[in-house]
Structure 1
Amino acid sequence: MGKLAGKVALVTGASRGIGRATARVLSDAGARVVVTHRDSATGAEETLQGLVGEGHRVIQASVVDSDALGAAAVSVAQTEGRLDVLVNNAGTSKVVPHRDLDALDDELFDLVMRTNVRGAFAAVRAFRSLLAKDGGGLVVNISSLAARMANGSNVAYCASKAAMDNMTMSLARALAPDIRVISVAPGLVDTEFTRAWSPEVRQQMIADTPLGQLVGVNDVAHAVLAVATSLGMTTGAVIPVDGGRPLGTQRKVHT
């Protein structure tokens, strides 16, 4: 039996990428997984088909819609009867050069913050009672190295992930001891986004990473699994999965 046998996990934004990989890894460990999506029914169903075991399902619920999250919580309470792991993976962004302040208009700025920060909080609020029901509940917020390095798709995105990490600490304090809250912070992940870079840019990013490769979605998923199965005395922490990228500049200076 897997380490998460008998447990239930819910992964937001699980129709592709990190969310899909996380759902799969958690199912491999024995969890029943609830896959949520905003408007990607086809992708969510593809995720569902790739899960191991039985009892998994899809719920449509946007994290920016608190009523939908509340309805999802009721559905989980009625169908699964418990929730042990909530993975806040849903997020949004758009590439805007940091110097181009005019291009980062109010609408985009608000969308990024509403989705990445308020959405994660709203999910915790909606599922709090289920997570705390039997004690030992876990929230994993999928953050980013951008929170630490202030270098990402746009200024709002970096700010949103920094806010998420701060919120992780605040919620960890507020919800202990019944619920642990942890951020997992990937660096540059090998996804459709990074594959669209020019070969020169991609190779430079890899060269600047001490471990010599981009982070895989499974690397992030296995970090979530480790938090859920092996790090029971950890809460309020930010766990990097970045190949040592913050050390890249230091390595150039000192070697």
Structure 2
Amino acid sequence: MTKFTTLNGERPVALVTGATGGLGEQICRTLALAGCAVVAGYRSSADAAHALVAQLDGEGHCALAAPVTDTAALARLADDVATRYNRCDVLVNCAGTTRFVAHDDLDGMPDALIDDVLATNVRGPFAMVRALRPLLDRSTLAGGAVVVNISSIAAQTAMGSNVIYCASKAALDNLTKSLARALAPRIRVVSVSPGLVDTEFVKSMDTAWRDEQAARTPLGRLADPQEIAQAVLVAARDLRFTTGCVLPVDGGRPLR
């Protein structure tokens, strides 16, 4: 694995929201193994976040509260990161929420659920960038700091857990492009867009449904969480001239 350091030879500081989820945990592990000091951001699962940090490769990691819908709490998070590290090199917006609601069941999407999905999946990443921007500006990564937004193939296909979830991920991809333009050249912004990922949550669902989803994918299987984490690492470490784009990790799903 290529060593990941700043231009000063320091360990990059990477903050991952939603760190205790199936994707977030793997992203934290991969970034730590690559040489990052990882800040595992959590909303309510403090114990799980601290347990994860204790298992990460290397040193300098910590777990901090990062409730992405609470702007005041994010200001405190930024202050804590500044005190501990004085900068942030990589921000991974992995926190997200949804609920399975049939697309034709419009009454099954109450306002409270709509607001929660949009606040978490769209306003949350924007609020994180807004809070961390001064620390991202201090990065000495080659190519500048990088924000990686975890999107979804649902943004393109409009097929997913519910209508508003699909809309939220389309909005996130648009936000990626707008922020990339606004924050260049100091900060790069990219989306990593998975298809269905075989997390523990997905593995707990109906086997016939999972098999059907795999069969609809040209490569014949679901994504592994490690493959999404590797895409995040590549976007942060290797794609230094890439910004404002969506990187698909979907097994070719839109082809069918």
CA distance in 1, matches of 2:32, 2:249: 21
- Indicate if the aligned counterparts of 1:16 and 1:43 stay in contact, CA closer than 8 A: no
Q: Structure 2 matches for 1:89-128, cutoff 5 A?
A: 89-128=94-133
- Match for residue 217 of structure 1? 225
CA distance in 2, matches of 1:90, 1:134: 23
Q: Which amino acid aligns with 2:128?
A: A
- Match for residue 186 of structure 1? 194
Please state if 1:160 is matched with 2:173: no
Residue 202 of structure 1, CA deviation: 1.4
Please state if 1:195 is matched with 2:210: no
Residue 61 of structure 1, CA deviation: 2.2
2:185 corresponds, among 169, 173, 177, to: 177
SS in 2 for 1:13: coil
CA distance in 2, matches of 1:197, 1:74: 40
- Match for residue 141 of structure 1? 149
- Indicate if the aligned counterparts of 2:101 and 2:108 stay in contact, CA closer than 8 A: yes
- Match for residue 87 of structure 2? 82
- Indicate if the aligned counterparts of 1:15 and 1:46 stay in contact, CA closer than 8 A: no
CA distance in 2, matches of 1:160, 1:54: 35
- Match for residue 67 of structure 2? 62
CA distance in 2, matches of 1:47, 1:211: 32
Residue 103 of structure 1, CA deviation: 0.7
Q: Which amino acid aligns with 1:198?
A: D
Identity across matched positions, percent? 54
Residue 39 of structure 1, CA deviation: 0.3
- Match for residue 37 of structure 2? 32
SS in 1 for 2:64: strand
SS in 2 for 1:215: coil
- Match for residue 159 of structure 2? 151
CA distance in 2, matches of 1:192, 1:26: 20
1:10 corresponds, among 6, 10, 15, to: 15
Residue 198 of structure 1, CA deviation: 2.0
Q: Which amino acid aligns with 2:85?
A: E
CA distance in 1, matches of 2:236, 2:167: 27
- Indicate if the aligned counterparts of 2:149 and 2:176 stay in contact, CA closer than 8 A: yes
Residue 43 of structure 1, CA deviation: 1.8
- Indicate if the aligned counterparts of 1:16 and 1:44 stay in contact, CA closer than 8 A: no
Superposed CA RMSD in Å reads 1.2
Q: Which amino acid aligns with 1:19?
A: G
Once the two structures are superposed, residues 118-147 of structure 1 have per-residue CA deviations (whole angstroms, 9 ceiling, x without a partner) of: 000000000001101245111000000000
Residue 210 of structure 1, CA deviation: 1.3
Residue 82 of structure 1, CA deviation: 1.2
User: TM-score scaled by structure 1?
Assistant: 0.94
- Match for residue 252 of structure 1? none
CA distance in 2, matches of 1:134, 1:124: 14
CA distance in 2, matches of 1:152, 1:21: 22
Residue 88 of structure 1, CA deviation: 0.3
Residue 2 of structure 1, CA deviation: 2.5
- Indicate if the aligned counterparts of 1:11 and 1:36 stay in contact, CA closer than 8 A: yes
- Match for residue 42 of structure 1? 47
Once the two structures are superposed, residues 7-36 of structure 1 have per-residue CA deviations (whole angstroms, 9 ceiling, x without a partner) of: 100000101311110111000011100001
The runs of 5 or more residues in structure 2 that have no matched partner are none
Is the deviation greater in 217-226 or in 131-140?
131-140
